[in-house]
Amino acid sequence: MPDPRLPSPAPRPAASGSVLPAIPFYAPDLGEAELRALQTTLVSRRLAGGATQTERCHRMLAATMPDSLPLLTQSCTAALEMAALLLELRPGDEVIMPSWTFCSTANAVLLRGAVPVFADVREDTLNLDADDVAAAVTPRSRAVICVHYAGVGCDMAALQAVCRRHGLALIEDAAQAVGASWAGQPLGSFGTLGAFSYHASKNLTCGEGGALIVNDPSLRSRAEILWEKGTDRLRFARGEVSRYSWQDLGSSFLPSEVTASLLAVQLARLEEITEKRLAVWRRYDTLLAPLAEDWGLRRPQIPQAAAHNGHIYHLRFPSRAMRDHVLARLAAERIGASTHYEPLHLSAAGRRFGQTLAPLPVTEAAGATLLRLPLYGDLPPGEQDRVVERLDAALAAIPH
């Protein structure tokens, strides 16, 4: 699930004179193992999805979430759309979700004719506020979609309690949360369904890709059918039926073996890649602590129960004007910092298709004041120092 207004990574030009090389906002962590995997798959000429490499990815995902059925998809967007289809959302149904998310979260619901109902997020984590969810429940409510922003887990106990009380399904949009956990349990494994992203901007990547995690055993059989274009082809592959045929609604959700072969290597490197990103994240947090105190900036807050994955390092500024000034100065210095979402309830489509039952002040403040810094595992310390130094200089240059 790609982020809006995300700068594309580009090769860094060699320094010429006083021009420093660009620091991209993100850079995929790829090496020789990924190249060899792609070459092996291409040489095999077995490229259609659902074969050996797909099965390998499924085994690795299942090992981290042993009570779940993982199914690779072409994107997290596709995984969310499959989740909405699997829950049989219908016109008029309501699904409560944060406005502080990418549009794919809402589009998956809208494509089934259901209505996204936007709730506010918490001040500390920018994750869905369970109290706001409870206040948004109506007789039409069918499900809740929570988003683990920046790879920091939502308060899953609180959200699960609301969903149990009102008989709602819980979908985890874990696009940013690969390898992260809450209270020792992997994110994506709490809800009825979970959805991951392996987009080029995410911690693990296969370019474009995702996965649906089916945690409710009663949905597994139908999930396999929807995943295989509405057929019982997987039952046929296991020898459970003599031939496969069209059984239900479905689509071509599965990615190619080329995509799966790249992802399999990335999944095997999850711990290594996560630790590299966390090292960069922690170094930012240390370097920026005095600067944040001097200028009234808000650094990320990580709840005790959350083991995050270093996906995003963000700062929140006292005002939009200050944030925009710093963003412009960093862009002039060829540093790929970025804002994040336009709150969905303020967008043209959000006003047209969604519902907002109460003010969303935390969401609106985040949209106006949040800035993300370049972060990837191979970001050199010297370049990270440059980001912080130029950020400091930008703040010092703010007109008084």
The string of pLDDT tens digits covering residues 65-99 is 999 999 999 999 999 999 999 999 999 999 999 99
Q: 14 is written with which tokens? A: 């060699």
Residue pair 336/178 in contact by the 8 Å Cβ criterion: no
Q: Which pLDDT score is estimated for 20?
A: 80
**pLDDT score, position 7:** 41
C-alpha distances in angstroms, 53 versus 10, 108, 256, 260, 266? 29, 27, 9, 5, 12
Q: Which tokens is 382 given?
A: 């010297």
Is the same domain home to 225 and 303?
A: no
To which H or E segment does residue 144 belong? strand 141-147
pLDDT at 2 over 70: no
- Whether the per-residue pLDDT at 387 is higher than 80: the answer is yes
Same domain for 222 and 288, yes or no, is: no
- pLDDT above 70 for 243: yes
Q: pLDDT tens digits, residue range 95-146?
A: 999 999 999 999 999 999 999 999 999 999 999 999 999 999 999 999 999 9
Rounded mean pLDDT of 157-163?
98
Q: What is the pTM of this model?
A: 0.94
User: At residue 10, does pLDDT exceed 60?
Assistant: no
Residues 335 and 315 placed together within one structural domain of the fold:
yes
In the chain, the percentage of residues whose pLDDT exceeds 90 is 94
Do 260 and 307 fall into the same domain? no
β-pairing, 94-98 vs 141-147, is parallel
Question: Could you give phi then psi for residue 97, rounded to 5 degrees?
Answer: -155, 165
- Tell me whether residue 3 is in a domain: no
pLDDT tens, 296-346? 999 999 999 999 999 999 999 999 999 999 999 999 999 999 999 999 999
CATH for 251: 3.40.640.10
| Confidence at residue 66, expressed as pLDDT on a 0 to 100 scale | 92
Q: Report if residue 20 sits inside a domain.
A: no
Same domain, 290 and 220: no
Residue-averaged pLDDT of the chain: 94
Say whether both 101 and 144 belong to one domain. Answer: yes
In a domain, 1, yes or no: no
**Concatenated DSSP letters of 11-25:** PPPPPBTTBPPPB-S
Confidence class for position 399, pLDDT limits 50, 70, 90: confident
**Residues 275 and 257 reside in one and the same domain:** no
Q: Which of 16-25, 149-158, 372-381 has the lowest mean pLDDT?
A: 16-25
Contact call for residues 222 and 86 (beta carbons, < 8 A):
yes
Residue 335 in any domain: the answer is yes
* Mean pLDDT to the nearest integer, 283-296: 97
CA–CA dist 176, 127 (Å, integer): 12
Does residue 331 sit in the same domain as residue 372?
A: yes
Supply the range of the domain harboring residue 58.
32-268
Retrieve residue 74's tokens: 């072409």
**What are the beta bridge partners of residue 98?**
119
Closest CA to 326 of 259, 245, 399, 380: 399
Of 120, 100, 127, 177, the C-alpha closest to 300 is 127
Q: What is the pLDDT of residue 18?
A: 58
- Which domain CATH number covers 289? 3.90.1150.10
Same domain, 274 and 219: no
Q: Are residues 171 and 256 in the same domain?
A: yes
End position of a domain, from candidates 268, 290, 308:
268
Determine, yes or no, domain membership for 78. Answer: yes
Closest CA to 136 of 313, 343, 358, 375: 358
Domain co-membership, 213 together with 87: yes
Residues 6+ apart with CB under 8 A from 134: 162, 165, 166
Domain count, the chain: 2
Asked whether residue 260 falls in the same domain as residue 333, the answer is no
Stated as kind and residue range, the H or E segment containing 213 is strand 210-214
Residue 208 has pLDDT above 70, yes or no: yes
Burial class of residue 117, CB neighbours in 10 A (0-12, 13-18, 19+): buried
Amino acid at 82: M
Q: Which of 268, 287, 306 is the last residue of a domain?
A: 268
Strand partners, 313: none
| Residue 200 domain-assigned (yes or no) | yes
Separation CA 90–CA 315 (nearest Å): 39
Residue 68 included in any domain:
yes
Domain annotation covers residue 169: yes
Question: Domain boundary residue among 222, 243, 268?
Answer: 268
Provide mean pLDDT across the span 177-199.
98
pLDDT band, residue 12 (cuts 50/70/90)? very low
